[in-house]
Chain A
Amino acid sequence: MKEFNIDELNRKFQEKIDNDIKIEPKDWMPDDYRQTLIRQISQHAHSEVVGMLPEGNWITRAPNLRRKAVLLAKVQDEAGHGLYLYSAVETLGADREQTIDDLHSGKAKYSSIFNYPTLTWADMGAVGWLVDGAAIMNQVPLCRCSYGPYARAMVRVCKEESFHQRQGFEIMMKLAAGTPEQKAMAQDALNRFWWPALMMFGPNDAESKHTQQSMDWKIKRHTNDELRQQMVDITVPQAEMIGLTIPDPDLKWNEETGHYEYGEIDWDEFWQVVKGNGPCNKDRIDARRKAKEDGLWVRQAANAHAEKRRARNAKKAS
């Protein structure tokens, strides 16, 4: 086997990245690259799983059977997304159980948006339209991420996401065209979710420590502010179309740049929620912990059953 020194390995690694050659699990990679991916992919996985809670909250109270079936299918998809991503983390040598325990101990983060409560049925509309909308905007470029298993997981995820956004928009559209009370409910949901949805793209570029390195590694393809601008530009006309108002008095179209200008984001609120002081942080983590603890006997029983079957089959074969 050939011996390489570390500089040579690093150079070859960056050369692959620069030539858009994917990095696969058994390839050599710098430790920082591995750690960055473990952190990012596990956070992403946690977001998918914690993200089931605010929507799961409404499954039993969906207004009719069609809406219920759709919401159930959407939430099931999110469980699948979590699973694809935990599998991708495992290819990096991370211990899956440990990454989940890190979530439960508060060491690992997940998307702050899921720390906001879903108070009305219209929130199912706002979440699908805005939250899944923002997630799509983040995830589409990740399909070209330099790490093969992450990119492949994202391709699957993106295929499934677009129905999530459409079903949310459909809920908003229906409510906005309904009675004055229904329209007010839709507007209220938009008012509460608009700014947290814009915060989903993370801090301003000037404040974002990891962006440059992640771009050099082609884990990230666009900066936070680029994606946020794209979200605003795409969403404003959609809101107008269904007769809802974006809750931003500073919002205006700039003819010269061809983009919307939008108001200042409340970053204090963002950091408060990241640090655990959002309206639902504690509920979310408590629910995850409880699910893990309550499920323990099931996992153990399944293992015991599998062990028994193995023993029985071995006996039959001998």
Chain B
Amino acid sequence: MDERARKTDVKLQGLARHLVADVNQKRNPSIAIPLRSLANVSFNERRKILELGDQKQARILFNVGMARKFMQTFLLGSACKELLEQGKTTSIRDLYYIAKHTLGDTRQNTFEEQDESDPIIEDLEVTIDALREELNLFASNKGAMVGPLTIVDSGDTIDLRRMGSGGWSVPSIVEENIVELKKSEAQFVLLVEKDAVWRRFNEDKFWQKHRCVLIHGGGQPPRGVRRMLRRLTTELKIPLYVLVDNDPWGFYIYSVVKQGSINLAYESVRMAVPQARFVGLSSFDQEKYDLPDNVTMKLKDEDERRAKQMLAYPWFQRKEWQRELQYMLKRGKKLELEALSNKRISFITEEYLPRKLKEGEGKGWLV
């Protein structure tokens, strides 16, 4: 076990010691799990990130509603310890299979579905204050990256200028011990919401022309991509621009990248990029870019609901955002990035984004 693993292992052992102590004192064994819900998340105005509060929830062994989860928490804890001991990493799906077995001679399993084990992993992370990576867990790769820089991934040096059409697939664990950032000429990082738009940018060699790191997260960016964004911006000291659709979902992606998510608020510190800037489609862009009405889409009920919720979030209180969201609701329309192709196939890379970037520098960003 390396130093990192040992640290995590100690934390896991603490869980077991705590239980033994409870038992010896004839207490109903319990685990205190930080609450991962809106109620326990606050927006730190100074650091501009979402932070987990200190509300905790007791998970009690001798309670019919909690006993099973209690047992599962320990089961996953011990499975992670084994991973650490063997120096192996695995996917959370794999872990589900590793820990799944039948209980005694019943027809019950320790876990019935992966849906049951995933939240327990998050519980475990917050409870022992260890990151998923530190538990040697990863998720499947989602997201790709190209740009004028060189990295070292698990000992292999990779030139991100030579990644062909698909780009370098961003792993879910991008900690320094696995991925190192080497020589870079990048001036900024561009996060594109989806794969299809990213391809357009790659094909048009936008990153070459504008000297930027081009990255996408396949929708809501996974931890690996978010962690990478954080590292790129802090280590290379370059800005991050976020290019998303004009709909509440796109805005939310931007906000997660910028200040973190409610569910993973405990990871904001190492994943959020408060300086991120919005270069996505605005509700006012249809007129500005003279886009026909037939490329817009009606806001769905779900979109409306989400937009209204966002209006209330503390981190969306700047008047520009309020105006943006209110106008979106008023129009009742949304616009995808692809709609820009209605003008010209490379309109987005050749006109739209350069103009946005220039405007931003001039008039100020929508942040």
> Do A and B interact with each other, yes or no?
no
